Amino acid sequence: MSYIGIDKGGARHTYALANASGEILLTFQRNTPRDGSAQQEIVSLCAEISGLISEGATRQDPVSRIGISFGGPVDASKGETIMSHHVKGWEHIPICSIIEKKFNIPVVLDNDANCGALAEWKFGAGVGIDDLVYINVGTGIGGGVVANGQLVRGAHGVAGEIGHIVLNPNGPACTCERRGCLESYASGRNIERRYRELTGAHELISGQEIFARAAEGEKEALAIIWETAEYLAHGISLAVGILDPDIIIIGGGLSEAGPLLFDPLDEALARYVIPQMAGIKVVPAKLGYECGVIGAVALAMHVQ
């Protein structure tokens, strides 16, 4: 028995073939067509899936299920994409039934944040822990929740959207068309925006460069990072107060920030949570860029 995992991202698709233990046997990437339709992309997906099915048969390890991690909201129960955060044309596409009909193999679908949570729970920083919150901090902020060993999707399929917890209703505009969400303060693009506002810089400065400047002791960069830790701690504390997880896992670009971010984040979080939760751990994700495709494999393995 083997599994196929597919991470459908904005710039590329990542594919993996994994055995019954979740060990990755084969992985590769293909660039996402920028000018093709969803139907054309699905044709391309199916061609790669066909090759992986053949590879599984060659290994005498037939594929039993396919998991897809999708960069946008989905209806997991219907196996349908709602929209893509990256390209147009993915509105209400029944991708699971299309692929199932072609290969007669069950297909499961979820958004990339939920798949990230599954990946870190099954194979990463959350192994052996059945109550966790996963937060992916990149261009935006996404999240996923595992409670009592089960992925939590919620009544509308949007559980874990910690990036859209409102910290200040009069705050900066957010991509969700509200104001003052955690994402509007602490996502990568908004860390960069706040740094430019503080310094008066007009050129584009990456989050990586801001952290590098902070490591060299620049006071403006340090101020932005400490402020970011405060915003993250505020948002995390709201999730912690409701869910009482064992750990918080930070993925995305900020997972590589090290003590520069995690030390002030720990200190700030201890001030926000009730005393019984003061020792909660905030840890970096372990799986890096492969988190998406590993999450798709974990989804295929962990059907609920």
Q: Which residues pair with 181 in a beta bridge?
A: 166
* pLDDT, position 139: 84
Measured CA distances, 68 to 28, 160, 189, 266 (Å): 15, 18, 27, 34
Q: Is 236 left (phi over 0), alpha (psi -120 to 50) or beta?
A: alpha
* pLDDT, position 36: 67
**Which one-letter amino acid corresponds to residue 156?**
H
* pLDDT, position 203: 87
Both tokens of 98, joined, read 């299309």
Q: Which residue has the tokens 């997880």?
A: 245
Per CATH, the homologous superfamily of domain 127-286 is: ATPase, nucleotide binding domain (3.30.420.40)
CB atoms within 10 A of CB 119: 34
2-116+290-301 and 127-286 share one CATH topology? Answer: yes
Q: Are 113 and 294 in contact (CB under 8 A)?
A: no
What does the domain layout of the chain look like in residue ranges?
2-116+290-301, 127-286
Task: List, run by run, the mean pLDDT of 10-residue segments along the chain (304 residues).
Answer: 89 89 90 75 90 89 94 92 84 95 96 94 95 93 94 89 94 92 94 94 89 95 96 95 95 90 95 89 91 94 71
Output the CATH code of domain 2-116+290-301: 3.30.420.40
Q: Which residues pair with 134 in a beta bridge?
A: 144, 249
